């Protein structure tokens, strides 16, 4: 991974910025933060392009999608304390109608009347990997959550386990999408080699505006065993 170039798009319009993020060949399922809005600034995303030198092909079993997301501000997600059980053979947290999404966090857990599942710890930040309406897994970082790498647990503990939000809990928001080669779910994004595709900005305008401290995240999610070829995401935006 290389850090992005950040420079004025046009010296006559110094508030406009182009952010470039280059990714090497990697197994899709990666979340990488690459831009943070400076203190006292507000940044609007105007256009997002994605380029892949070797091109992308639709597939029903080996596929991937690319999105641009932003982290949001601390405290932007409120999650009411909820008790849960675990199934340690699959690292599953059983939590009915949890409403959480992959990347949500950090969350913390406590126990009363026993001990937490072996592998989890109190006063430790965890991030959500959504696996179903009533089930999830927990990762040690947001990047690992996007990669689908769950914390291993070797037991289900005893007593009552409770999952809680923190003052820093956020839900990453999708800013731009439109690269999805999963033909089984109507992905229609075959990209010819050396082709740049204009991604679709969120229809909710506020999703495209970042406040001070907010961060942009490149996310690639895959199915099957394909390896995402090296590529580049370019974000055009401006300080407002």
pTM: 0.76
pLDDT at 59: 83
Q: Report if residue 140 sits inside a domain.
A: yes
pLDDT at 5: 47
Quick one: tokens of 24?
């090497």
| Whether residues 125 and 192 fall in one domain | no
DSSP string, 116-170: PPBTB-TT--BEEEEEETTEEEEESSHHHHHHT-PPP-S---EEEEEEEEEEEEE
| Whether residues 126 and 145 fall in one domain | yes
Which CATH number do you get for residue 185? 2.60.120
Q: Which of 124, 146, 169 is the last residue of a domain?
A: 169
Closest CA to 143 of 131, 132, 127: 127
Which residue positions in the chain have pLDDT lower than 70?
Answer: 1-14, 27-29, 186-188
Q: Report if residue 148 sits inside a domain.
A: yes
> Which phi and psi (to 5°) does residue 85 adopt?
-120, 170
The per-residue pLDDT for range 127-156, each reduced to its tens digit, is 999 988 999 999 999 888 887 889 999 999
Question: Which residue range forms the structural domain that includes residue 155?
Answer: 82-169
Q: Report if residue 6 sits inside a domain.
A: no
pLDDT at 29: 67
In the chain, how many domains are there? Answer: 2
């Amino acid at each position: 991974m290389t850090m992005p170039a950040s420079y004025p798009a046009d010296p006559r319009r110094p508030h406009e910025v182009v952010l470039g993020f280059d990714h090497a060949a990697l197994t899709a399922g990666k979340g990488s933060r690459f831009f943070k809005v400076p203190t006292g600034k507000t940044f609007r995303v105007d256009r997002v392009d994605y380029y892949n030198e070797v091109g992308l092909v639709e597939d029903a079993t080996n596929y991937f999608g690319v999105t641009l997301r932003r982290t949001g501000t601390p405290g932007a997600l409120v999650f009411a304390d909820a008790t849960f059980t675990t199934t340690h053979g699959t690292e599953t947290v059983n939590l009915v109608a949890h409403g959480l999404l992959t990347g949500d966090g950090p969350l913390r857990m406590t126990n009363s009347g026993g001990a937490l599942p072996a592998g989890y710890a109190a006063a430790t930040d965890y991030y959500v990997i959504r696996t179903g309406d009533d089930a999830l897994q927990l990762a040690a970082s947001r990047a690992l959550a996007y990669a689908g790498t769950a914390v291993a647990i070797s037991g289900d503990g005893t007593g009552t386990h409770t999952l809680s939000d923190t003052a820093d809990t956020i839900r990453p928001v999708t800013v731009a999408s439109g690269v999805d080669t999963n033909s089984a779910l109507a992905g229609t994004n075959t990209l010819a080699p050396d082709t740049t595709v204009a991604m679709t900005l969120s229809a909710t305008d506020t999703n495209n505006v970042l406040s001070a401290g907010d961060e942009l995240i490149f996310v690639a999610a895959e199915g099957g065993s394909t390896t995402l070829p090296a590529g580049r995401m370019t974000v055009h935006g401006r300080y407002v």
